């Protein structure tokens, strides 16, 4: 699939996502406590997540009819395929349910294991981050790049606190302690997709988190890559989409970020 075709697919995807985002915004104050389900420890879902996913699947099926799906809420059969949509219909559900305006829709298109298109749509601010393979990364039609800051003490770091898998919590807090003491600050906003989008546009300089799922990060991966950033798992390898752990950063601070995180986690592996 050439770059022009990927651009066309990405822009069609954006249009469909925007309509689903409108649905989510309209439901922000409509969810009642009885509408909320607990999938697992601190993992919540409502009819909004499920309906948004159903809408996305129906719309995306028309864009790439041969594609299969990997989705968070499993409202459609989860299948392998040469082309596959990876969808999080509402990344930041807890924020949404508490009416904290930081949540997103994340949609990526995968081809034979490689992410070739991705969109992260910040629902409340209507900020649309998107990228396609070899096409660059954009925010609302403006090209974006990762941060140019080169000194770790000048950086702002993003992360996600462990909220159900506490096996690595001691290592996590060891890395966090370093970043608290040696950077301008650490932020935990509650949407991995947006954390990666913010790395891509230079708002954050680096991001690290574990216990991630593919639908949390797939779209953000291509955003960071096309914006000039670097990604790895905690060992510096490439298993960061399905390996449940990720570091993403600008090239100038990537190695130091990786060293801090990998050293912290190596002690307890």
Q: What is the pLDDT of residues 197-250, one digit of tens each?
A: 999 999 999 999 999 999 999 999 999 999 999 999 999 999 999 999 999 999
Summarised one tens digit per residue, pLDDT across range 26-66 is 998 887 777 777 766 545 678 899 999 999 999 999 999 99
- 214, 96: one domain: no
CATH number at residue 174: 3.40.190.80
Out of 120, 143, 166, a domain closes at 143
Tell me, what CATH number does 51's domain have?
3.30.540.10
DSSP notation for 30-98 = T--GGG-EEEETTEEE-HHHHHHHHHHHHHHHHHSTT-EEEESS--S-----SEEEEEEEEETHHHHHT
- Residues 104, 125, single domain; the answer is yes
Beta bridge partners of 68: 84
**pLDDT for position 163:** 75
Say which residue, 266 or 130, is predicted with more confidence. 130
pLDDT of residue 42: 47
Residues 104 and 234 in one domain: no
- Per residue in 159-196, pLDDT (tens digit) is 999 877 788 899 999 999 999 999 999 999 999 999 99
* Residue span of the structural domain in which 177 resides: 152-266
Mean pLDDT, the chain, rounded, equals 94
**DSSP 3-state assignment of 101?**
coil
Same domain, 69 and 116: yes
179 with 247, same domain?
yes
Are residues 25 and 7 both part of a single domain?
yes
pTM, two decimal places: 0.95
Q: How many domains does the chain have?
A: 2
Which residue, 112, 143, 174, sits at the end of a domain?
A: 143
Q: Are residues 108 and 181 in the same domain?
A: no
């Amino acid at each position: 699939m050439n770059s022009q075709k990927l651009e066309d697919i990405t822009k069609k995807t954006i249009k469909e996502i925007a309509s689903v985002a409108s649905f989510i915004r309209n439901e922000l104050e409509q969810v009642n406590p009885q509408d909320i389900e607990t999938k697992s420890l601190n993992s919540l879902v409502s009819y909004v997540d499920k309906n948004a996913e159903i809408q996305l699947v129906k719309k995306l099926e028309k864009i790439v009819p041969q594609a299969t799906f990997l989705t968070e809420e499993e409202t459609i059969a989860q299948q392998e395929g040469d082309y596959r949509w990876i969808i999080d219909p509402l990344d930041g559900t807890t924020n949404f349910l508490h009416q904290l305006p930081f949540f997103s829709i994340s949609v990526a298109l995968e081809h034979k294991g490689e992410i070739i298109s991705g969109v992260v749509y910040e629902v409340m601010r209507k900020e649309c981050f998107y990228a396609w393979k070899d096409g660059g990364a954009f925010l609302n039609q403006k090209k974006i790049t990762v941060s140019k800051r080169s000194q770790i003490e000048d950086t702002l770091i993003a992360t996600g606190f462990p909220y159900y898998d506490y096996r690595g919590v001691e290592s996590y807090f060891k890395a966090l302690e370093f970043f608290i003491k040696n950077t301008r600050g650490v932020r935990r906003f509650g949407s991995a997709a947006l954390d990666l989008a913010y790395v891509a546009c230079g708002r954050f300089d680096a991001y690290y988190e574990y216990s991630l799922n593919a639908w949390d990060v797939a779209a953000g991966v291509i955003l960071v890559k096309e914006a000039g950033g670097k990604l790895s798992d905690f060992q510096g390898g490439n298993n960061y989409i399905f390996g449940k752990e990720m570091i993403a950063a600008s090239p100038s601070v990537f190695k130091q970020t990786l060293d801090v995180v990998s050293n912290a986690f190596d002690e307890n592996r």
